[in-house]
């Protein structure tokens, strides 16, 4: 039995343990969908799977609460699959292995999936709790939030009847979120010609590892290093010794700050000593610049076997200059809310195959015009470099409503429980509320959750005490929902 099943509230943690036992990375949630349907069937709850694949479960109001407004409890069922380089784990088949670490729950070498598995587990716990006091409840469990918000994009109007949406996908207990950033994906492709590796070259693996990574929305403000930007800084410096690039593999997910970047390069044998000196000097510079935020940063420059081919020199030059110049990180802070990022971009993935090099970025902003201006800026950089550029998956932000009735109810409820008023926040991440509110404009919406640290990275962990507070607050909120 998993040790987390002994934690309180037992129902929530038992459900989270069940979720961890079933592989459910983005776009591979079918087994978890089956388990949710089985859960609903076992508890005699009305349920359906909509056209896009979201699971909807309904629970009638508890006795005497039929006159409360209907509540939609919402969370996404997919998780970000990230692991440490030395961890053997297949996210499509292997279970997540949670363990307790000094007041926190984390996973062994992988992301935990508390984002958003704790939210899903809380919803399931409400659905099976016979003593909970609440009005009509609809559970909306969406698919594929992390890689495209597919479930939210595909939700149809008229399917759900509730008046209030409680999104359980925020990550700091004691904060109520009333707004979020919108986003858009940028993809830039360089086609290249394979050239036979010239004679007289020696091959090296040039790798950047040991970075913290993290959520490209919530953690972008922390100023952590981007493995792809560091690698291309090295490439730029090594142009003076006539570097030739064979392959690149940096980053893995569009919404995770890249923690690692790997490459195979070739250098004229008579310039190897000069190249080593360049790498050593730049390593010192980068480590000094990031000494506080990236203490485990490592740059390795090790001899390896020579590849048969390299990227043609013209494409290589244009690629290095474009990625080196590409905007990355925080572009502008919010004028209306303190310490809130307004606009940012994450240079998430750079990968080569036999024909092309593809660069993937996720652009975020709470101001749609600023988001599109940033897209045009990046388009200009890559157009000048001769790359093919596409922008897809645009989703809107969620505009705060400070006159929200459910906001006032939840502020009062929290103060009654804990003797203080919760913080009112907006988040620089792509909550599904923006999309869902577009389909159901009548919804009064709030997002909240327990404290989760370092989501989208193997350092992800959820605070145990905050989960109990989150659960008690959720039950109290449901009990105090306004009447129709």
The catalytic site residues sit at 78, 145
Q: Which of 418, 408, 412 is nearest to 472 (CA)?
A: 418
State CA 262 to chain mean position distance.
22
Tally Cβ neighbours within 10 Å of residue 249.
17
Adjacent-strand bridge partners of 142: 76
464-479 helix and 114-128 helix, angle to the nearest 10 degrees: 40
Helix (H) or strand (E) holding 281: helix 272-289
> Both tokens of residue 147?
């890689």
Measured CA to CA, the distance from residue 121 to residue 118 in angstroms comes to 5
Distance in angstroms (rounded) separating the CA atoms of residues 15 and 29: 16
Report helix, strand or coil for 288.
Answer: helix
Collapsed DSSP state (helix, strand, coil) of residue 212: coil
- For residue 272 the two structure tokens come to 């190897």
| Separation between Cα atoms, residue 255 and residue 252, nearest integer Å | 9
Residues with Cβ within 8 Å of residue 158, at least 6 apart in sequence: none
- In degrees, rounded to 5, the angle at the alpha carbon of residue 412 between the alpha carbons of residues 409 and 416 is 135
Distance CA 23, CA 13 (A): 17
């Amino acid at each position: 039995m998993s040790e987390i099943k002994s934690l309180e509230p037992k129902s929530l943690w038992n459900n989270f343990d069940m979720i961890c036992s079933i592989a459910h990375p983005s776009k591979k949630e079918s087994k978890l969908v089956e388990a949710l349907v089985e859960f609903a069937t076992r508890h005699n709850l009305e349920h359906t799977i909509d056209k896009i694949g979201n699971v909807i479960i309904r629970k009638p109001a508890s006795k005497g609460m039929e006159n409360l407004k209907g509540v939609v409890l919402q969370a996404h069922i997919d998780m970000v699959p990230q692991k440490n380089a030395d961890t053997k784990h297949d996210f499509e088949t292997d279970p997540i292995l949670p363990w307790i670490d000094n007041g926190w729950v984390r996973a062994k070498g992988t992301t935990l999936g508390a984002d958003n598995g704790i939210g899903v587990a809380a919803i399931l716990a409400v659905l099976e709790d016979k003593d909970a006091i609440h009005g009509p409840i609809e559970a909306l469990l969406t698919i594929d939030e992390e890689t495209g918000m597919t479930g939210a994009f595909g939700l149809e109007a008229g399917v759900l009847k509730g008046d209030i949406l409680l999104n359980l996908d925020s990550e700091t207990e004691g904060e109520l979120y009333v707004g979020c950033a919108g986003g858009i994906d940028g993809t830039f492709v360089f086609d290249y010609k394979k050239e036979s590796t010239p004679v007289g070259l020696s091959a090296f693996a040039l790798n950047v590892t040991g970075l913290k990574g993290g959520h490209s929305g919530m953690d972008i403000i922390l100023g952590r290093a981007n493995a792809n930007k560091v690698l291309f800084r090295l490439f730029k410096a090594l142009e003076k010794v006539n570097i030739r690039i064979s392959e690149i593999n940096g980053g893995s997910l569009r919404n995770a700050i890249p923690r690692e970047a790997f490459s195979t390069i070739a250098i004229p044998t008579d310039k190897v000593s000069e190249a080593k000196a360049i790498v050593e000097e730049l390593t010192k510079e980068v480590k000094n610049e990031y000494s506080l935020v990236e203490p485990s940063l490592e740059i390795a420059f090790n001899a390896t076997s020579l590849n048969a081919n390299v990227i043609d020199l013209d494409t290589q030059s244009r690629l290095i200059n474009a990625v080196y110049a590409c905007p990355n990180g925080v572009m502008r802070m919010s004028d209306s809310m303190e310490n809130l990022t307004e606009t940012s971009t994450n240079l998430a993935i750079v990968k080569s195959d036999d024909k092309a090099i593809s660069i993937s970025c996720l652009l975020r902003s709470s101001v749609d015009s600023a988001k599109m201006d940033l897209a045009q800026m990046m388009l200009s950089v890559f157009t000048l470099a001769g790359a093919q550029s596409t922008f897809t998956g645009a989703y809107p932000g969620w505009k705060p409503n400070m006159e929200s009735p459910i906001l006032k109810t939840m502020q009062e409820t929290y103060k009654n429980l804990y003797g203080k008023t919760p913080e009112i926040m907006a988040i620089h991440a792509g909550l599904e509320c923006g999309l869902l509110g577009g389909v159901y404009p009548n919804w009064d919406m709030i997002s909240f959750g327990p404290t989760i640290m370092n989501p989208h990275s193997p350092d992800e962990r959820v605070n145990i005490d905050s989960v109990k507070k989150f659960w008690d607050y959720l039950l109290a909120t449901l009990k105090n929902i306004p009447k129709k």
